[in-house]
Chains A and B, each alone.
Chain A
Amino acid sequence: MSAAADIPQRSPMPGLGRARGAVNALLGIGLLLVLWWIGGEMIARNDDLFAFASFAPAPTLSRLAELVASGAVIDMSLPSLYRVGMGLALAAAIGVPVGIAIGRIAILREITNVPFQFLRMISPLSWMPIAVMAYDTWDGAIIFLIFVAAVWPILFATAAGLRRIDPAWLKVARNLGANPFHMLFVVILPAISVDILTGIRLALGVAWVVLVPAEYLGVTSGLGYAINDARDTLDYASLGATVVIIGVIGFFLDFTLMMAIKKFNWVRSDA
């Protein structure tokens, strides 16, 4: 038996697997571009729609290049990233502790279950008029809407993670002299870190979707505003470019969280 055989491997030839993954990913991107191009061609040939022809890949991508070169892409993304970041941070700051509380305390879980499930099903955007009235600044209102969208996935994922904790882990900790601080930071949080990150990943997906319509209202910055503005000025190349920017940023934020989940995941897949 060679030494290499002792090292656990996920696939017999990991190098090949990775190369194949990359090729397939490029294939997928290529396919999307082709569909987009076909769509653009169809719009251009349609008598009713040809005004929207700059939505096609060529004008959109050249406008995107301009936006990137001039740094405008950063100016339009930063306010949006700030709002999503704040909304998510607030959602985690509230969702994680409340999730832990309802995961640990049965009576709290029973009392909150119906109200939480009820509130969760209300589209975050329904709160828009209330948010606009309640907050002096547009930023405040948008952050509130993102918070409302993001808090549920985080809260429920945390509570579910907590209920999967092996009770013996807590018993061992108590027996070995753990205080409540140790319980939380040495046992509970590491045990459910992946559940929390998975909740944040879901929350990010919802928050990023809610962001754009929330930014249609009032504000004069951000990606949603850029979309609205491009529509009003009939600048469809910018509209297309903004859509691409929204997609790319969302993809990379999600990817980052996916990598974090991978890093924190202590469950060995082959165990």
Chain B
Amino acid sequence: MKVEPINRTDTGPGNAPAPSARSNGAHVAVRGLTHTYRRSDGPVLSDISFSVEPGEIVALLGRSGCGKSTLLHMVSGLSMPSSGEVLMNGNSVRAPSPRWVMMFQAPSLYPWMSVAQNAALGLRFTQRRYEIATRVPEVLDLVDLGGFADRNAQELSGGQQQRVALARSLAPKPEVLLLDEPFSALDAFTRRNLQQDVRKIARGLGLTLMIVTHDVGEAVRMADRVLVLDANPGRIASDIPISLSDADRNGGNDAFQREHTRLMQTYSDIAQVPGTQA
């Protein structure tokens, strides 16, 4: 896998968040966020507060149904919380914006368009058509799909489609990337490649990255810090830094194993004792 991100900032040591002065990423703050879908079910998320530094990569780890997707949708502005707020660089998020882009489990490409047309959507929607000619080849190169511009989106494999979705998200130069289990439908090998590449790209661009996952390995490979979520109602049960160099994140070494075991321990303690049960 030869991915050469455009290095606008130094990648820095593996575990340190990129310093804000050199980062293109936004500061994300979630303040007292509570959400209830149906009153009879009680709140899905309860009084969640945390912040993410510019350029930091944070994983939200939690069991299925604990409200991870709900939380990420609210950070993106695609839906609004019952109470509490999300701040991007101190400004309240009230609507979705190409400055903080969400990626989903399915690539959700438009099948009637070519790869390049899909990647250009954000620029087209925001009246930046003049950037398309230079920016789209740039992001396709970044995700290692330089030769695929004119292919139909449907002709690509699942992993390649998810790369196109990544290019589509990156084209408008977002400050925050929000990933909702984007690799869970891929085979283990493709998933590893994408995990590495996404971390590398986000680092290279200095993006703030939040990734939702229920895979401990994914959290250890990708994140500088892991927020473990409790279920019923969802709240942050633990905030764990991952101290690994980029080289150690590929797994198969003691440092990785140590972090993995430590996180797994915390995660299973939390996951097995749901908040509302005795």
Contact = CB atoms under 8 A, between A and B. Distances in A.
Interface of A: 166, 168-169, 171-179, 182, 186-187, 190-191, 193, 266-268, 271
B110 A175 contact: no
B106 A179 contact: no
Q: Dominant SS at the A interface?
A: helix
8 contacts: A166-B108, A171-B102, A174-B78, A175-B98, A178-B125, A186-B121, A186-B124, A271-B155
B111 A173 contact: no
Nearest to B172: A176
A179 B154 contact: no
Contacts of B122: 176-177
Nearest to A176: B122
Interface in B72-102: 76, 78, 96-98, 101-102
B173 to A, nearest CB: 12
Interface string B223-260: 00000000000000000000000000000000000000
B112 interface: yes
A168 B104 contact: yes
B195 interface: no
Contacts, number: 66
Contact of B121 (A168, A172, A179, A190): A172
A212 B102 CA distance: 55
A266 B126 CA distance: 25
Nearest to B104: A168
A171 B155 contact: no
B196 interface: no
Contacts of B152: 268
Interface in B112-131: 112-113, 121-122, 124-126
